[in-house]
A = this chain, B = another copy of it.
């Protein structure tokens, strides 16, 4: 075993990693992406700046890892449930998303980042690559499986279906234009699927 990778130091590393990602999410909520600094993250997490730079090349990298950590399953991948019933699975996922959006610990850092993405095309591009695309791919895999099972039309535009499922939810959350509850999630899934039934 190489120096610095004994079980104790691995545990210490994992504790530092979690502390850094948590500090990053807290700070992006408090000060926004533009004013966030590696120095402030290190101070909040109780680690040295060099520890952060050893693991992440830039501020953007640690920010996106801190947010991705919220969406990851325990094995590090992103996968939607597939019970064989696409309507039931999507209702479960959209109800959970609506509940997450209603939880400030989850929603506040993503809200802060979204604000800056709206005015920063470069940040928007990084966000798309690091966060949106991997999650979108997982959702598309679930919809393809439903199409293969004959629950969606063979020529269904799955990208458009995804927009119909998620954009009203995201907009209602970002613009606070209405309640985000199970009833809304269910109605959204039913309407979006009706548009693409076989």
A174→B157 CA distance, assembly (Å): 22
- A160 near B: Cβ within 8 Å? yes
Copies of this protein in the complex: 2
* Interchain CB contact under 8 A, A176 and B121: yes
A43 to nearest B CB, angstroms?
A: 24
- A188 near B: Cβ within 8 Å? yes
* Interchain CB contact under 8 A, B128 and A177: yes
Residues of B within 8 A of A128 (CB): 177
Interface residues of A in 71-88 (CB under 8 A from B): none
A-B contact pairs, 14 of them (CB 8 A): A111-B118, A115-B115, A115-B118, A117-B175, A118-B118, A118-B175, A157-B187, A157-B191, A160-B168, A163-B172, A167-B167, A167-B168, A167-B170, A194-B194
